[in-house]
Amino acid sequence: MIAAVEVTPAYYLVLGSALFAIGAGGLLVRRNPLVMFMCVELMLNAVTLTFVTFSRMLDDVGGQAVVVFVLVVAAAEVVVGLAIIVALLRKRPGATADTAALLEG
Amino acid sequence: MLELVWLVPALPLAGFVLLIVAGRRLGEPLAGWVATLTCGGSFLATVVVFAGLLGEHGEERSFTQTLFTWLPAGGLQVDLGFLVDPLSITMALFVTGVGTLIHLYAIGYMHGDADFSKFFVYMNLFVFSMLMLVLGENLLVTFLGWEGVGACSYFLISFWFTSEANAAAGKKAFITNRIGDWGFMVAMFLAFATVGTLSYTELMANADQLAAVTATGLGLLLFVGAVGKSAQLPLYIWLPDAMAGPTPVSALIHAATMVTAGVFLMTRVSPILAAGYDWAPSLIAWVGAITALFAATIAVAQNDIKKVLAYSTVSQLGYMFLAVGSGAYVAAIFHMVTHAFFKALLFLGAGSVIHGVHEEQDMRRMGGLRKYMPVTAATFIVGWLAIAGVPPFAGFWSKDEVLLFAWAKSPVLWAIGLVTAVLTAFYMGRQVFMVFFGGERWRDDHATDEAQAAHVVADPVGDGTTDDAGEAVAAADPSTAAATYAHDHPEPHESPWLMTLPLVVLAVLSLVGGGLNLPFSGDTKVLENWLEPVIGEAEVHLDVATGTKVGLAAVAVVAALAGIVMAGAVYLQRRLRPVEPEVLAHGWYYDEAVSAFVDGPGRESFEAVAAFDRTIIDGGVTGVGGAVAWFGRGLRHIQTGFVRSYALGVAAGAVVVLGYFLTRLNF
Amino acid sequence: MIELIVFVFAAAVCLGGAVGVVVSRNPVHSALSLVATLFGIAVLFVAQEANFLAAVQVIVYAGAIVVLFLFVIMLLGVDESDELEVEPLVGQRTAAAVVGLAVFALPVMAFISTDFTATGILGDRDPDVADIKALGELLFTRYLYAFEITSLLLVIAVVGAVLLARRPPGRVDEIVDPGQTEHEAALAERFARAELDAGYLPKDSDTEESAAESDAEGTGTRPEEVRS
């Protein structure tokens, strides 16, 4: 029966890796700066999931403390990042990540 | 007094510098006198040093003066220094002595030439180089002089360079010398690699410890250099063409001094030759003997007065190498000295004749000149008797020594030497009779003159070819021979005292020069005793009965007289018909063969080497640059300018690092 | 058993949301997918007895950050350029796929090597104490310094954001949608052209509209020209 299958921390770890991979792939593929940012948030979340999992595995609440800090920093980062995006796109509406391509060899 | 040896080369060098700066202003004849005086001063300095050397005793007669350290390069230490010993002083004496006489002569000979002072610039430079060559304390200083005389030879041969043929002759001389120089250079490398020094004193001291292979290698490589410089087979081809230069040049460089440098070098390194295999000196002797015979045969059929003497020089140099190869170094030096006297005399005499008949050089257009040029004729005859080997003239004593040692080495060599002696007497007699005796062919009537003038213009040398340097001699001289000759032929005149005085001096020397090494007893062998500290050990000491010696000498005299009589019969009394085959007149077609080779397979190999150099060596170097550029061009494409590419790069790098750490895990 | 169901469900939501973020054409859809992922993560936090974090996650992330995202998207206009059809960089998608796969596989392999056990020092969490209490204790004792610094960080971030997003001085009165004037101009031009053509035929009207709303040049240029 399915009930016999126990959810070990392994599951969470693999899920975290998967989320991280999806976020990384998305970051490389998308051009819209906002969507790219969202992919970064995705990666951060994967990391927090992994931290919490390890915190539980090791019986150490320090992992959760790290998650708190990650959350705070992510918030600050989003604020500043979006401010920059707003400033940029105000100057050049429609700019994407590919717009800045003059420095080529 | 020995410390003054630096003056010996310094004076001609000073003359050179002075004449370069102020020669044109000094003009004729002052420039010539300056050059002569520096040369004379050098001779005096040499005499002083000689006196100083005499003051020392036997084995002590070796003095080294180092001016400065020339090449302090790691393991190699070469000083610029002079080695004063009997051999070098002997050489210096006759180089400066004969050189001064020839400088004096040249003041008269080059009279009226537009480049009068330039001539003496080169002449003084030559004397300086030659002195560096003979006085050098090590192989490199000698090489400096060696190259210097080669360069001056080039300058002086193509002195009248406006003619293509003269320039070509100069180039030919230089290039052929260069081939020999290769041997010299490799010998220096070998000396440094094996013994670690280039200095003569150290080389000779260690000579007996050299491995036979090394010693033979050194000796033969230096011999290659000597073959080039002293015009032996197979590199003699430049010397006949070198007659394109003014006659004083031919006398000084191509008779008395430069061409003897090879013999000097072999004598200098005689201990090394002695330490090598026995077949090496034999090789040298055979090359010398064959060259002597070869050149003598060609001289028989030459019609240009200077060409005969050129081939004669090659032949006599062959004698010297025959002596060297037979272990008779003293005899070689002895013959060198006497040869310097009489060959210089002969050349200067020829120059006087040319000057006297208004730049005509074809002997068939001369004749009966002894009436008009008595001094020239008399001195020329003295030179002739000396070279033919008639006693008591100098040539007899020296040639006899050479033949004696050749006999001891191998009777075949002696036979070759003897036949050559006969031929020498013959062709020199031919020359004397054609020029100074007989009918005055320069007087012949106009009709044939016109035709002959045209012929002379096309082929002044008269050997059937129209494109060797001899043509140039007649063609290049300002007063075009044929024109002058065809239209007015005033009578020949004797040369001024400037030219006849050296002739007389040299004639006297040719007469008494034999006294240097009379073979009668140990005391009369002055030269041998004098040179003993230098050559003593390498010299072969003969154990021949006096009777054999006298017999051989007698045979030599008979041979000489036979040659003279034959020449008289053919050319003076006209009893026999002259035998001058075309093949001899063309020098056995050796020159043509060399040209064909160089133009054919030679050129292909040159071009192959050049192509190799271009594609592989140059290509390798530029290829490295090209590879770097190609690599850079490829690498450029990484810089796309797109942020996402760079992000991909970062991610990929992270993956790689992660992968690396994974390899260190245990599964 | 319940844990399994919860896990599967939450994992599905997370993954679905993640994929949604990446493949959505419309950025608003991406933002909403992100919300879904965040909720899923929050559920997983609860499943791992990190209740406080779950709450904070929902409040801060889903409630503030994503809202902020949506504000900006709306402020700047929804940009639906055909970025999913075309990939200007050759091989980027393949490389991204490979990298993504590697980034997934390598940590998993690392985990496998330890058999999914943690190899760190065991902590001293008392299971009876609530997580929020334990967390609070930790934050206000051991990590107090970092805690205070983060507050400073937040202040700086706010100040920075205000500064960065400020309009240049001199135009404070204008609250203009930058796409608005261009939109009007494009429409005017189109009608003018239509009158000339004596017939209203909107050619590629979709792209024209989106181009008019968001283009940079102020003329009815095609989207490919926007991308320089």
Give B323-338 as a DSSP string.
HHHTT-HHHHHHHHHH
Interacting residues of A7 by C-beta distance below 8 A, sequence separation 6+: C3, C4, C7, C47
Q: How far does the CA of residue B635 sit from the closest CA of chain C (Å)? A: 16
Average pLDDT, chain B: 85
Of A24, A27, A101, the CB nearest to B642: A101
Q: Which chain C residues contact residue A84 at CB under 8 A? A: 164
pLDDT in the model for residue C207: 45
Residue A78 structural domain: 9-91
Q: Which chain B residues contact residue C96 at CB under 8 A? A: 648
Q: Which chain C residues contact residue A15 at CB under 8 A? A: 11, 14-15, 44
Q: Which chain B residues contact residue A101 at CB under 8 A? A: 640-643
pLDDT in the model for residue B521: 67
Q: Is the pTM of this model over 0.90?
A: no
Residue B295: which of B268, B313, B273, B283 has the closest Cα? Answer: B313
Q: Counting one residue from A and one from C, how many pairs have CB atoms under 8 Å apart?
A: 265
Average pLDDT over residues B19-27: 87
Domain count, chain A: 1
* Interface touch C92/B648, C-beta < 8 Å: yes
pLDDT in the model for residue C218: 42
Residue range C1-80 forms a domain whose CATH class is mainly alpha
Q: Which chain B residues contact residue A97 at CB under 8 A? A: 642-644
Q: Is the pLDDT of residue C211 over 50?
A: no
* Interface touch A101/B637, C-beta < 8 Å: no
Mutation pick from B635, B642, B648, B650 vs chain A, by most beta carbons of A within 10 Å, is B642
- Asked if residue A85 belongs to a domain, the reply is yes
Q: How far does the CA of residue B619 sit from the closest CA of chain A (Å)? A: 28
Q: Are B72 and B190 in contact (CB under 8 A)?
A: no
pLDDT in the model for residue B52: 86
The percentage of residues in chain A with a pLDDT greater than 90, rounded to a whole number, is 62
pLDDT in the model for residue C228: 37
CA B550 to chain centroid: 33
pLDDT in the model for residue B625: 92
* Interface touch C113/B665, C-beta < 8 Å: yes
For residue range B212-224, list pLDDT tens digits in order: 888 888 899 999 9
Average pLDDT over residues C222-228: 39
pLDDT in the model for residue A84: 92
Q: Which chain C residues contact residue B640 at CB under 8 A? A: 89
Of the two residues B457 and B432, the one the predictor is more confident about is: B432
The percentage of residues in chain B with a pLDDT greater than 70, rounded to a whole number, is 91
Q: How far does the CA of residue C118 sit from the closest CA of chain B (Å)? A: 14
Across B35-49, B423-437, B521-535, least confident range: B521-535
In the numeric block, the tokens 């998967």 are attached to A18
Q: Searching chain C, which residue's CA lies closest to the CA of residue B667? A: C113
pLDDT in the model for residue B132: 93
For residue range C152-165, list pLDDT tens digits in order: 999 999 999 999 88
pLDDT band at B452 (very low <50, low <70, confident <90, very high): low
pLDDT in the model for residue B295: 92
Interface contact C102, partner B, CB < 8 A: yes
For A70, B39, B627, C40, the CA distances from A66, given in Å and listed in that order, are 6, 102, 52, 20
Interface contact C22, partner B, CB < 8 A: no
Average pLDDT over residues B393-400: 87
Across B281-290, B447-456, B553-562, C9-18, least confident range: B447-456
Q: Is the pLDDT of residue B408 over 70?
A: yes
The percentage of residues in chain C with a pLDDT greater than 70, rounded to a whole number, is 77
Interface contact A97, partner C, CB < 8 A: no
d(CA C62, CA A45): 11
* Interface touch A59/C14, C-beta < 8 Å: no
For residue range A85-105, list pLDDT tens digits in order: 998 888 888 788 888 888 876
For residue range A15-51, list pLDDT tens digits in order: 999 999 999 999 999 988 999 999 999 999 999 999 9
Of C88, C99, C109, the CB nearest to B662: C109
Please provide residue B609's backbone torsions phi and psi, each rounded to the nearest 5 degrees.
-65, -45
CA C45 to chain centroid: 20
- Could you tell me if the ipTM is greater than 0.85? yes
Average pLDDT over residues B417-421: 92
Of the two residues C2 and B289, the one the predictor is more confident about is: B289
* Interface touch C138/A14, C-beta < 8 Å: no
pLDDT in the model for residue C208: 47
Mutation pick from C7, C26, C30, C158 vs chain A, by most beta carbons of A within 10 Å, is C30
Q: How far does the CA of residue C110 sit from the closest CA of chain B (Å)? A: 7
Q: Are B655 and C106 in contact (CB under 8 A)?
A: yes
Of C99, C102, C110, the CB nearest to B665: C110
Q: Which chain C residues contact residue B651 at CB under 8 A? A: 99, 103
Mutation pick from A1, A6, A13, A19 vs chain C, by most beta carbons of C within 10 Å, is A19
d(CA B72, CA B80): 11
Q: If you count them, how many residues does chain B have?
A: 667
In chain B, domain spans: 1-156, 158-585, 586-636, 641-667
Average pLDDT over residues C8-17: 96
Q: Are A62 and C138 in contact (CB under 8 A)?
A: yes
C198 phi-psi bin (left φ>0, alpha ψ -120 to 50, beta other): left
Q: Are B92 and B117 in contact (CB under 8 A)?
A: no
CATH number at residue A52: 1.10.287.3510
- Asked if residue A47 belongs to a domain, the reply is yes
pLDDT in the model for residue B582: 81
Interacting residues of B662 by C-beta distance below 8 A, sequence separation 6+: C106, C109, C110, C113
Q: Counting one residue from B and one from C, how many pairs have CB atoms under 8 Å apart?
A: 38
pLDDT band at C175 (very low <50, low <70, confident <90, very high): low
With b for 16 or more beta-carbon neighbours within 10 A and e for fewer, the B427-460 pattern comes to bbbbbbbbbbbbeeebeeeeeebeebbeebbebb
Interface contact B638, partner C, CB < 8 A: no
Q: Searching chain A, which residue's CA lies closest to the CA of residue C106? A: A17
> E strand or H helix at B72, and its extent?
strand B63-73
Q: Which chains pack against A, by 3+ Cβ pairs within 8 A?
A: B, C
Q: Which chain A residues contact residue B638 at CB under 8 A? A: 105
Interacting residues of C199 by C-beta distance below 8 A, sequence separation 6+: none
In chain C, domain spans: 1-80, 131-168, 178-223
> E strand or H helix at C164, and its extent?
helix C144-165
Across B318-322, B416-420, B486-490, C39-43, least confident range: B486-490
Q: Which tokens hold the place of B53? A: 């050397």
Q: Is the pLDDT of residue C38 over 90?
A: yes
pLDDT band at B210 (very low <50, low <70, confident <90, very high): confident
Cis status, amide bond into B234, omega within 30 of 0: yes
Q: Which chain C residues contact residue B646 at CB under 8 A? A: none
Q: How far does the CA of residue B638 sit from the closest CA of chain A (Å)? A: 8
- Asked if residue A80 belongs to a domain, the reply is yes
Q: Searching chain A, which residue's CA lies closest to the CA of residue C108? A: A14
pLDDT in the model for residue C215: 43
Q: Which chain C residues contact residue B659 at CB under 8 A? A: 102, 106
pLDDT in the model for residue C165: 84
Interface contact B645, partner C, CB < 8 A: yes
pLDDT in the model for residue C226: 40
Residue A98: which of C24, C88, C23 has the closest Cα? Answer: C88
Q: Which chain C residues contact residue B667 at CB under 8 A? A: 112-113
pLDDT in the model for residue B602: 85
Q: Is the pLDDT of residue C93 over 80?
A: yes
pLDDT in the model for residue C178: 61
Interface contact A40, partner C, CB < 8 A: no
Of B648, B658, B667, the CB nearest to C106: B658
Q: Are B473 and B306 in contact (CB under 8 A)?
A: yes
Interface contact B657, partner C, CB < 8 A: no
Of A65, A93, A99, the CB nearest to C138: A65
Q: How far does the CA of residue C187 sit from the closest CA of chain A (Å)? A: 18
For residue range B256-279, list pLDDT tens digits in order: 788 889 999 999 888 888 888 888
Average pLDDT over residues B631-653: 90
